[in-house]
Structure 1
Amino acid sequence: MYYSSILPDIIRLADEASEKVLHIYQSDFKVNYKEDQSPITAADMASHDIIVKGLRRISRDIPILSEEGAQASWEERKHWRRFWLIDPIDGTKDFTQRTGEFTVNIAMIEDGEPVLGVVTAPALKEAFWGIKGEGAHMRDRTGRTHRIRVAEPRESLRVVASKNHLNDETRAFIDTLGPHEMVQAGSSLKLCRIAEGHADIYPRMGPTCEWDTAAAHAVLLAAGGKVQTLDGEPLTYGKEDVLNPFFIAAGNWYF
């Protein structure tokens, strides 16, 4: 598939979902809880519906895996060479706490690798996108679009970490990095901050699911970065278990 030909449609679709999400975010929304006690709002489902309908118009035959959709069985998914992987809202806690640090995420997975990703941050009015081998871009809050690239190595690393999930294991890893400063970011924006050169490394020693990382992972790859497991293997997608192993995201210089 020639991904650059459909990228503008995917960006428009993410923007449409973002507009709806922002409308709900600015209202008096209700928070419900799923079986695993993770929060969900009307914005999650509205974003899911808009993205799924839009993707089916764009690519009728490519399957879709969404955090908020009915999950296909592994017997079905194991035959998917290419599929859409979406998180209608990543950072629902940030959404419910009104920090603004939540994102809408759309990724294309091919042979286990994220080859296209679009991430929008509706409340921050930012958007990021990238295609494998074709580079990454950001649209800032003024509407200006520019190419982005990971930063060169620095003497004092800028470590981006989760405000909600900074555990002892992650702190222990950060302590091994030597001189560093902490950069706070929520949701998949942590990967995007590395992609745009505003942070250098993101260690995640805690649970995430494939849909949490895929779109921003694609952006980071396109911007010259990598995401690897603690064993030094690339983080892959389309596994039987949708939970990701622990990982480190950074510019190529780190690995």
Structure 2
Amino acid sequence: MDFSDLLDQVHVIAKDAGAAIMSIYSREFSVEEKEDKSPLTEADKAAHEVIMAGLEALPEGIPVLSEEDAEGFAGADANGRYWLVDPLDGTKEFIKRNGEFTVNIALIENGRPVLGVVVAPALEVSYLAARDVGAFKIEWGEGKANERRAIRVAGQPVEGATWRVVGSRSHPSPDLAAWLEKLGSHDMVPMGSSLKLCLVAEGAADVYPRLGPTCLWDTGAAHAVVEQAGGRVETLEAQPLDYATPSEKLNPYFIVWG
């Protein structure tokens, strides 16, 4: 499988989904509540439809697990592959209209994210990564270069330096304060959606501790970006975050290290 070409194709699909989201973002929209009390908007549904049509049109025929149709997922293919999709990650940020929401599309192979695309349509920025291809950032708004720029994590700060910690804007965790106290001197940067992982991937933050609930589709795409940029996404037991059992939708707590 040519990951370079596939990465370009998936980026187009994600940007098309982002355009569908922005057409709704620019006007009044309805908000529903799902069974788990999380919000659902017209934009989530519109982006889901765009992504499903795009991925199903690809020649590989890989099954799709989307947040908006988890029940329709029959499992990975014979090669252990499936698409992992969050059509609109950061719905709360979308409702607040702060721009910090993303389209997430990941390719999972034998439990590992081997390709990931994260598009932030309101910010007009994309993060792309694939195995043996690398990790990249593209700023594609008007007047921007619209070119791939290779990204790399910053690495662990030198001893005594202040850690740049990125954290959730909408999901504060009571466990986080104790973890940060052990970390030592730090500056906290709040951010929504999978952009938190992407900030670590591009070297703009050193660590992202997530001591609260997330689902597989929240992390898969940006996890691929972090790994291809030289970082790690690990459980509290220092094991790689795993996607081999998609029937278990919730991730364990994890740390993203630059």
User: Which band: TM-score by shorter chain?
Assistant: over 0.9
Aligned mate of 2:244, from 216, 235, 238: 238
Q: Give the letter aligned to residue 81 of structure 2.
A: R
**Overall identity of the aligned pairs, in %:** 48
Aligned to 2:185: 179
Q: 2: distance between equivalents of 1:167 and 1:218?
A: 24
Aligned to 1:128: 127
Aligned to 1:35: 35
> TM (normalized to structure 1)?
0.94
> Does the 8 A contact of 1:77 with 1:238 survive in 2?
no
Q: Give the letter aligned to residue 212 of structure 1.
A: D
1:205: Cα distance to partner?
0.8
Aligned to 2:116: 117
Q: Deviations over 1:14-62 (max 9, x none)?
A: 1111011011011111111111111011110110000011001114521
Whether 2:203 is the aligned partner of 1:200: answer no
Q: Deviations over 1:159-201 (max 9, x none)?
A: 0000111211012111111111111110000000001110010
1:70 and 1:225, CA in 2 relative to 1: closer, same or farther beyond 3 A?
A: closer
1:72: Cα distance to partner?
4.3
Q: Which runs of 5+ in 2 are unaligned?
A: none
> Does the 8 A contact of 1:104 with 1:121 survive in 2?
yes
* Residue-pair matches, total: 249
Aligned to 1:149: 152
Q: Which range is displaced more, 130-139 or 88-97?
A: 130-139
In the TM superposition, structure 1's runs of 4+ consecutive aligned residues that sit over 6 Å from their partners are none
Q: Give the letter aligned to residue 136 of structure 1.
A: A
Q: 2: distance between equivalents of 1:55 and 1:23?
A: 21
> TM (normalized to structure 2)?
0.93
Whether 2:23 is the aligned partner of 1:23: answer yes
Q: Which runs of 5+ in 1 are unaligned?
A: none
1:13: Cα distance to partner?
0.7
Q: 2: distance between equivalents of 1:174 and 1:144?
A: 36
Aligned to 1:216: 222
1:144: Cα distance to partner?
3.8
Q: 1: distance between equivalents of 2:179 and 2:155?
A: 21
**Aligned-pair Cα RMSD in Å:** 1.4
Q: 1: distance between equivalents of 2:231 and 2:209?
A: 13
Q: 1: distance between equivalents of 2:49 and 2:10?
A: 14
Q: Secondary structure at the match of 1:119?
A: strand
Aligned to 2:61: 61
> Does the 8 A contact of 1:31 with 1:39 survive in 2?
yes
1:79: Cα distance to partner?
6.1
